[in-house]
Amino acid sequence: MNDRVKSLVQSAGQAAAQGRWEQAEQLWQQVRTLDPGNAAALHSLGMHAFRRGDLAEAEGLLQAAHKAAPREPMILLSLAHVLRERGDEAGEQRAIDASLVADAYFLPGLLARGNLYERRGRPKLAAEQFRNALKIAPPETAWPPALRPQLEHAQQAVEANARRLSDFLAERTGAALARLDPVEAQRFREAGAIISGQARPYRSECNRLYVPRLPAIPFSERRDFAWVEALESRTAEITAELQGLLAERQDDFRPYVECAPGAPVNQWRELNHSTRWSSYFLWRDGTPVDEHQQRCPRTTAALREVQMADIGGLCPNAMFSALAPHTHIPPHHGETNARLVVHLPLVVPPGCRYRVGFEHRTWTVGEVLIFDDSIEHEARNDGDELRVVLIFDVWNPLLSAAERDMVRALSAATREYQGQP
């Protein structure tokens, strides 16, 4: 391409970008005169003809552009648009398919194929194409403005198909589901949600120490822990100590999230150094907080009767966790699946919710929840009052005594290494 043609191409592009269509078309005509096989000129002139409603000329120019650049998917997609307007649905399909043969990850082509299937009354096939498009699209905040309406439509179509499939699965499997016990039933409700696309698999992801081959079970059964009833029976006296702290020592509740300056805060931006989520530790990273334990002797005594997990430098942790009204703890993962986390709810206003993986629970005062925090989890207080739970760590009961020793050894060796120069 000589310098004159390059200059004209650049000027034509600028004119089009600024909406000066007549000037752009004239410039592209000059490019075509100097370089009759210029694919960009043929493509652009074809689209100018399309804008004018001259479909026959547009098709001819786009066919010529395709011949000049047979692997350019956008030319093929433009041709598909013209063929659609000419009523040639079969030709439209061939052009869309060819654009995706040229580039299987061509986002506008996937959206166009989904739209074609939708017009044909094939919503399931359309949803499949739209789902593929959404998988390769950038994050929603970075969607190209020109494609945003199509991507929003694709998202809605995928969600609608997921609801239809979910309803169909529920209808067909309802009798079989009714024969399962509650734990089994929840597992297969989740399986159906994953099949329909309304949920994704939730797996353990640990920030520090991951034990392979442990099942990722969101919530454990209370009956599997011998200490549960004894702890729950002490809810009133634990709450009394909490209320004393809130009345006299509330300033001792510190922000739970305290990222160091310069550290990436990611999802913690809103809560970093904020007392909207605050804590009063009795044990922290395996170390007793003596002053706090002295102020809460009954809570400390109750926790000493529980076999808390003890992994040097990591746990036990035990704390009163306070969540301010209208505060959301965003989805996150814990440190290790070698331990489980226990919540004893103490103050629970209306509007509080908790999710671990697929399962949503509500806190009930005095009834413990035991869960694997290595699975993605989040909490909300959408009410108008403070929510407080007592939180502490226990061993994952699927680990043998020897495996617990191994967890301690791994953690200690890791800390030793990291402390070396």
Whether residues 154 and 229 fall in one domain: no
Q: Which of 26-30, 226-230, 276-280 has the lowest mean pLDDT?
A: 26-30
The band of 418, judged by pLDDT with boundaries at 50, 70 and 90, is confident
Whether residues 124 and 250 fall in one domain: no
Domain count, the chain: 2
Q: What is the pLDDT of residue 6?
A: 87
Whether residues 282 and 153 fall in one domain: no
Is residue 208 in some structural domain?
Answer: no
Alpha helices (H) along 103-181 = 107-119, 123-136, 148-178
Q: Final residue of a domain: which of 123, 144, 161?
A: 161
Q: Quick: pLDDT tens for 162-179.
A: 999 999 999 999 999 999
Q: Quick: pLDDT tens for 196-216.
A: 999 999 999 999 999 999 999
Local structure of 61: helix, strand or coil? helix
Q: Average pLDDT of the chain?
A: 94
Closest CA to 210 of 310, 331, 334: 334
Is residue 154 in some structural domain?
Answer: yes
Is residue 87 in some structural domain?
Answer: yes
Q: What is the amino acid identity at position 150?
A: Q
| CA angle 319–321–324, rounded 5-degree value | 160
The CB density around residue 80, as the number of other CB atoms within 10 Å, is 27
Whether residues 137 and 8 fall in one domain: yes
The CB density around residue 176, as the number of other CB atoms within 10 Å, is 10
For β-strands 377-381 and 318-323, DSSP reports them as unpaired
Residue 279: which domain range?
222-419
Q: Which of 20-34, 97-111, 215-229, 326-340 has the lowest mean pLDDT?
A: 20-34
- The whole-angstrom separation of Cα 421 and Cα 419 is 7
CATH of the domain at 365: 2.60.120.330
